[in-house]
Amino acid sequence: MKITEAATYREVLHAQIRKNPQRGYKGELAVAMRIHSSYLTRVISGDVHLTPDQAADLAGFWKLSERETRAFLLLVMRERAGSPALRKSLDQQLAEIRAQDTKLSTQIEVEEGVEDDHSLYYSSWHYPAIHVLLLNPLTRSAEKLSSMLQLPRNVVLTALAELVRMRLAEKTSGTEWRPIVRDMHLPDQEMWAPINHASWRQKAALRIAERRKDELHYSGVHTCTKGDHERIRKLWMNTLLECRKIASDSPGDDENFVLLFDVFSL
């Protein structure tokens, strides 16, 4: 389960124990928190609460991210809160963390590019396309890139020169380049995000018109409850993250593709 979506810290504790059913795991948790195993049993049964210090030790043992650690500590403090005012404040902080989880940019970890050059890199689809194609040893020359992307050779050479200037690629020989930074992501709150999205969707529209049999395109207008809309949005986000992981872990670079996801309210 996602720690930031848990209603109580015991939900997280129970989920971690179910995830690690091996003998002695509860003992390891007790050692990590520097408590007796009998006290942990009382915590699990609901007789006593964890302290913030013990929760922090658990978060370290589980190697939680900074956001997950903060959420877990807030859940512990909320259970221990003695006043409605404090509980309300902690609930607001938890709501802020959960709201961050709806933003794709918080779910993706990539290498940093050169922020000052976002205006150029994201101004046209062909800059990130050339950048990604450099991952494939078979498409690292201007001639191959020009042929694959159906772009004039001088346009490709200019783009390669700019990628070198941005320290995203480097020239390895007289005719070939390779990437330095392998992955970039532009958060939606960045001013260049709408331009980047529009550029790729214009490219997609052209490909749709070509009616290629090996491609998949879908546009649909639906109606549903607000809760189901949120379920669909989360499903698409999780699917997108899984697609990125599959592509990132893939051992080869023999196939290139563009992935566009759109879910929005009318």
pTM of the model: 0.46
Which residues have a Cβ under 8 Å from the Cβ of 148 and sit 6 or more positions away? 133, 139
More confident residue, 212 or 109: 212
Instruction: Read off the pLDDT band of 13 (50, 70, 90).
Output: very high
* Per-residue confidence (pLDDT) for residue 108, from 0 to 100: 47
Query: pLDDT exceeding 90 applies to what percent of the chain?
Result: 30
Instruction: Give residue-wise pLDDT tens across range 232-243.
Output: 888 888 888 888
Name the average pLDDT for the chain: 82
From the number of C-beta atoms within 10 Å of its C-beta (0-12, 13-18, 19+), residue 151 rates as middle
| Mean local confidence (pLDDT), 14-26 | 91
CB 185 within 8 A of CB 111: no
Phi, psi (rounded to 5 degrees) for 179: -80, 150
Which of 229, 2, 16, 13 shows the shortest CA–CA distance to 107?
2
Instruction: Give residue-wise pLDDT tens across range 105-149.
Output: 455 454 444 445 566 777 788 888 898 888 888 888 999 999 888
Please state which architecture CATH assigns to domain 3-101. Answer: Orthogonal Bundle (1.10)
Identify the bridge partners of residue 141 per DSSP, sorted by sequence position.
176
| Mean local confidence (pLDDT), 87-104 | 80
